[in-house]
């Protein structure tokens, strides 16, 4: 992979920042004064960036984070959320219309979860409600010690959105997920790490550099092979072992035909020869 040249990206909104550094596409939710609560402009800008990064062969990893000392405070309840611009009609029609808007707003979580690139969330602080859903939709999560996951929905008598229940269930199992969602208490970084919700916990001051370094390490690796590995893991969540073996085998064969595989074998042979001579 030829790494993309470092550059800033015009996102079309000040609420989302983006840049490409060391082959990593970085998205920053940028409303620190509102703890990066979701804004209408984010619902368009973030998916647009994710689609762009997914299609760019020079980008090997995608990192999403928040400005300031929070990751994302979830939907901005004071901003009205998805209740605006709903056509008039009967109750069922209004529910269906609002649900369609909310599901479209949440499209960023499916893009983060399903894209072939490895995705990472870097949490400088709390991820609440939809913000927790965004964080959990990534493949990997690195968090500051002060970071917390807060379901947040129950306190407002909401049932949940942005894939929060689906993602939490797949990560910790149905019983634990239901307990956490109903209790609606903050999950601190240490507990989140023990539950497998955080992969790495870092001192607050070191988080930005550590997150970018981890993403750059992945971006510099055999990204086509990583895409196949991610597909294998996603298949493991929905297919039986017997059903998963054929697509897994096809990906293995395809990876054996890539230049990155040939380069890796050459490097391995050179390393083995050097060890044999020493």
pLDDT digits (tens, 9 = 90+) for 133-146: 999 999 999 999 99
**Residue 199 in domain:** yes
Q: How remote is the C-alpha of 5 from its chain's centroid?
A: 23
Instruction: Give the chain's domain count.
Output: 2
The rounded Cα 15 to chain-centroid distance in angstroms is 18
Same structural domain, 135 and 267: no
Residues 168 and 109 in one domain: yes
Report the alpha-carbon angle 204-205-207, nearest 5: 65
Mean pLDDT lowest among 10-19, 86-95, 160-169? 86-95
Q: Is residue 85 part of a domain?
A: yes
Report yes or no on 231 lying in a domain. Answer: yes
Q: Identify whether 2 is part of a domain.
A: no
Does 113 fall in a domain? yes
Same-domain pairing of 248 and 160: no
Residues 88 and 214 in one domain: yes
The residue with greater pLDDT, 79 or 125, is: 125
> 142: which strand partners?
122, 200
In this prediction, residue 78 carries a pLDDT of 67
Give per-residue pLDDT as tens, 210-263. Answer: 999 999 999 999 999 999 999 999 999 999 999 999 999 999 999 999 999 999
Q: Are residues 41 and 111 in the same domain?
A: yes
Q: Tell whether 143 and 47 lie within a shared domain.
A: yes
98 lies in the same domain as 130: yes
Range of the domain at 248: 223-277
Say if 56 falls within a structural domain: yes
Q: What is the mean pLDDT of residues 189-202?
A: 98
Both 32 and 157 in one domain: the answer is yes
DSSP secondary-structure letter at 2?
Answer: P
Give domain status of residue 142, yes or no: yes
Does 1 reside within a domain?
no
- Do 119 and 148 fall into the same domain? yes
User: 243-261 burial by CB neighbour count: b if 16+ within 10 A, else e?
Assistant: ebeeebeebeeebeeeeee
The token pair at 205 is: 């001051």
Look at residue 30 in the predicted model and tell me its pLDDT. Answer: 98
Distance from CA of residue 4 to its chain's centroid?
A: 20
Q: Are residues 148 and 94 in the same domain?
A: yes
State yes or no: pLDDT of 82 exceeds 50: no
pLDDT in tens, 84-136: 555 666 888 888 989 999 999 999 999 999 999 999 999 999 999 999 999 99
* pTM for this model (two decimals): 0.92
Residues 179 and 266 in one domain: no
From 219, 246, 268, the end of a domain falls on: 219
Tell which of 201, 219, 237 closes a domain: 219
- Local structure of 231: helix, strand or coil: helix
pLDDT score of 276: 87
In this predicted structure, what is the pLDDT of residue 79? 61
- Tens digits of residue pLDDT in 30-77: 999 999 999 999 999 999 999 999 999 999 999 999 999 999 999 876
Q: The domain spanning residue 165 has which CATH number?
A: 3.90.226.10
In this prediction, residue 106 carries a pLDDT of 96
Residue 2 is predicted with a pLDDT of 46
Higher pLDDT, 2 or 104: 104
- Torsion-angle region of residue 12: left (phi > 0), alpha (psi -120 to 50) or beta? left
257-275: average pLDDT: 91
Last residue of a domain, one of 190, 219, 248: 219
Shared-domain flag, residues 57 and 136:
yes
């Amino acid at each position: 992979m030829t790494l993309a040249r470092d550059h800033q990206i015009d996102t079309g909104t000040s609420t989302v920042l983006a840049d490409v550094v060391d082959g990593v596409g970085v998205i920053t939710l940028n409303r620190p004064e509102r703890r990066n609560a979701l804004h209408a402009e984010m619902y368009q800008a973030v998916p647009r960036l994710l689609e762009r990064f997914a299609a760019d062969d020079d980008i090997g990893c995608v990192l999403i984070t928040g400005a300031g000392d929070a990751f994302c405070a979830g939907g901005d309840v004071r901003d009205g959320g998805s209740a605006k611009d709903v056509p008039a009609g009967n109750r069922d029609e209004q529910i269906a219309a609002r649900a369609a808007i909310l599901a479209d707003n949440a499209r960023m979580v499916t893009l983060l979860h399903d894209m072939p690139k490895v995705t990472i969330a870097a949490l400088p602080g709390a991820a609440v409600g939809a913000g927790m859903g965004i964080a959990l939709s990534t493949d990997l999560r690195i968090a500051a010690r002060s970071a917390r996951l807060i379901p947040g929905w129950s306190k407002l008598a909401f049932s949940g959105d942005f894939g929060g229940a689906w993602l939490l269930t797949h990560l910790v199992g149905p019983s634990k997920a239901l307990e956490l969602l109903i209790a609606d208490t903050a999950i601190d970084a240490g507990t989140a790490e023990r539950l497998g919700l955080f992969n790495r916990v870092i001192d607050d001051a070191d988080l930005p550099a550590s997150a970018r370094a981890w993403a750059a390490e992945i971006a510099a690796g055999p990204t086509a092979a990583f895409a196949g590995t991610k597909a294998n893991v996603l298949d493991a969540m929905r297919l039986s072992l017997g059903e998963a073996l054929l697509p897994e085998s096809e990906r293995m064969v395809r990876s054996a035909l890539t230049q990155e595989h040939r380069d890796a074998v050459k490097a391995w042979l050179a390393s083995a020869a050097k060890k044999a001579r020493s």
